[in-house]
A and B are shown apart, each in its own frame.
Chain A
Amino acid sequence: MNKSSWPVTKWQVTTAVVILTLLGVGYTIEAIQLPLGDPPGSGSASAPLLFGISWVLFGIIVLLRPNELFARGESIDEAEPEDDGFPDWPSGEGGRKLILLLALSGLFLVAMLHLGTIVSSFLLLASISWLFGGSLRQSIFTSAAISAAIWFIFIYLLQMRLPAGILI
């Protein structure tokens, strides 16, 4: 473990499941206020009540069973080998890149509506490529080519209605 690493702790896992369970409690309280319908169970509340009660119940069971709470992988969708612990939280270089990526994505969402899909795609692709290790020239050329492909596939071929922005 290096100096800048910030591991996921058992306390954090417990807190996360507590928060998840409390969300379930909130959901159930809200579901109780919905109509149960006539005959009972045919209204808007029936399924949400079932989901909410199960949510809280499963949350409590997970909290009470350490083996469930501190699970070590073995996922359905991916072949994650069983490892010894939880992964670290992002910190240092990885953390900075993560924040940068989220910030660039946020800017892209705003830029897409004003500058249009193609121009903002080019800007996002070029900046990610450049900031994440590509040379400036390579980033510009590759991003221009990919943006052209995006225009061809999504706008020309599939006729998607995407913001055109300054290209109108």
Chain B
Amino acid sequence: MDVINGMIGGFAVALQPVNILAALAGALIGTATGVLPGLGVLGAMAILMPLTFYLSPVSGLIMLAGIYYGAMYGGSTTAILLRIPGESGSIISTIDGNEFARKGRAGPALMICAVGSCIAGTVAVTGMSAMMPTLASIALKFSSPEFCALAILGVITLVRVTSRYVVRNLLMVVFGAAIASIGVDHVVGSTRFTFGTESLSLGFELVPVALGLFGISEILRVVQSGGGFPKSQSVRLREMMPSRKEWSDAWPAIMRGSGIGFIMGLLPGPASLTSTFASYAVERGIAGKRKKEFGKGAVQGFAGPEAANNAVATSALLPVLSLGIPFTPNVALLLGALMVHGIQPGPLLLMQHPDIVWGLIASMYVGNVALLMLNLPLVGIWVQLLRVPQHILIGVILVISIIGVYSVRSSGWDLAVLFIFGIVGFVLRQFKFDLAPIILGLVLGPVFEKAFRETMFLGRGNLDIFITRPISATLLAISVLVLVAPFALRPLSRRRRAALEAPKIPEPRGERAHSGGTKEQELGGSRGD
């Protein structure tokens, strides 16, 4: 009953003209920005985030969520048409999606993705509506130690699953968290790490840092490389309808992908990426004799993963709204925007701001329909956008970034931070460092610090409190397991691999030592952890 009442209230908020407009505008400009190669979802959100600060909290959040899933959809468009994934969740679509488009079926591929995104989004929103009150009540059992443990689990899972370079990415997370601690200590109001300067006491705000790392550094990279945009497959509106066979292949994959994405979005870790791989593996696994079509333009090979990716975009908001802990950098940015609006996400959010929570959920229904209605007729425009000359795009992104940063608090310091982090981001990219963990650290750092200090206060300075409370002890145990298990299991997997390769030894070809042995060394040597 609570859910139905909540949804009625939510629709009353979401269907206000200003909020419909915010959802539409968010989806539209999110898609437009997501289509631009290189920027990605995080870059698109960072550039457009300041716009949302000029709206009411609920309208701003609706618009930002629209930008988020609009950019996700835009990323898929470039993955299919250009083989350039807009973000990590679209990587798998570049394989079969682009192959399908190369067969002259670019339009149907985009149509399947758009409809699949809409269905997946709606499935995820329905699940989210049903689970929100339950999860919020579970979240009320969480206190400071549990939030600390959850933040640690989220970070460790993210860096463990997404990259081979675990310590490198952990270094970036703590670097981000350390940056966030500079300036005013929000618990006691004193300043720290300022060296007596007024500028540093203003601290490092999320908007200039994120925009510098993802907007300015990307512009610098484009200018340095001097490369133009690749040529896209052409798409005509009247050629967009998939055939009956393509539909019948697509819709079961879309439904399965939606389910996989929804569940994986609720778990700590980079669900946007892992869910697409899981969906691809499932589709390939059940394909039977049609398995050989995968990699050559199988409809299921992009319909399922795209649906999973979009379901994650919605369900990943659930941990943020109910627990206040983001598990991915994209959602971390959303959390940061909520805080800028003066809203503290967490267990009390549903009680204190039901209009925002239910309004946001209801707006996702609106947003999903808006995405479908806007993206199909406008697909020609998105493709044209890729043909805007680079010398114009560079200037536009630069001006919007500067104006966006300046508009937040009219601070010259923020503009300096924008360019400092633009250059820092450019240099770190040259050294192949990931920038996304910095954002995660920047947003999670203050959340972790507040929870940690409260925990220390509760435990009278004793760290035992983390292991004497069952939930935090379990979360920390899982964190240790996630971090250590691959190391512990490595000898076992080596032994198993050796056992599997053992029968090949007596082969009389004389090639064993050359191929098998070298490959084994390569595999062992390339693992960074």
Contacts and interface: CB of A to CB of B under 8 A. Distances in A.
A23 B246 CA distance: 56
B394 A34 contact: no
Main secondary structure on chain B at its contact with chain A?
Answer: helix
Nearest to B187: A44
B430 A54 contact: no
Contact of B177 (A51, A124, A160): A51
Contact of B434 (A77, A108, A132): A77
Contacts of B430: 8, 86-87, 89
Contacts of B236: none
A65 B174 CA distance: 19
B107 interface: no
Contacts of A166: none
A47 interface: yes
A128 interface: yes
A47 B453 contact: yes
B517 interface: no
A160 B54 CA distance: 7
A58 interface: yes
A90 B426 CA distance: 11
Given A77-B42, A77-B435, A98 B460 contact: no
A142 B392 contact: yes
Interface stretch (B132-140, B158-166, B359-367, B500-508): B158-166
B255 to A, nearest CB: 26
Contacts of A31: 193
Contacts of A154: 403, 407
Interface in A1-46: 8, 12-13, 16, 20, 24, 27, 30-31, 34, 37, 39-44, 46
B197 interface: no
A48 B179 CA distance: 10
Given A30-B193, A47-B453, A75 B461 contact: no
Interface residues of B, number: 90
B481 interface: no
A89 B90 CA distance: 29
B145 interface: no
Contact of B329 (A52, A58, A65, A76): A76
B449 A47 contact: yes
A48 B175 CA distance: 11
Given A50-B452, A65-B167, A67-B526, A75 B391 contact: no
A32 to B, nearest CB: 12
A167 to B, nearest CB: 15
B392 A134 contact: yes
Interface in B385-438: 389-392, 394-396, 398-400, 402-403, 406-407, 410, 412, 415, 419, 427, 429-437
B91 interface: yes
A41 B453 contact: yes
A46 B453 contact: yes
Given A68-B168, A79-B84, A124-B395, 18 more contacts: A37-B453, A41-B463, A44-B192, A48-B192, A58-B170, A62-B171, A67-B527, A75-B435, A78-B88, A79-B85, A79-B91, A90-B224, A94-B225, A97-B224, A97-B226, A146-B396, A150-B399, A150-B400
Interface of A: 8, 12-13, 16, 20, 24, 27, 30-31, 34, 37, 39-44, 46-48, 50-52, 54-55, 58-59, 61-62, 65, 67-68, 71-79, 86-87, 89-90, 93-95, 97-98, 101-102, 105, 108-109, 112, 117, 121, 124-125, 128-129, 132-134, 139, 142-143, 146, 150, 154, 158-162
Please provide the 7 A-B residue pairs with the shortest distance between their CB atoms, ordered closest to farther.
A41-B456, A39-B461, A47-B449, A132-B391, A40-B461, A67-B528, A77-B436
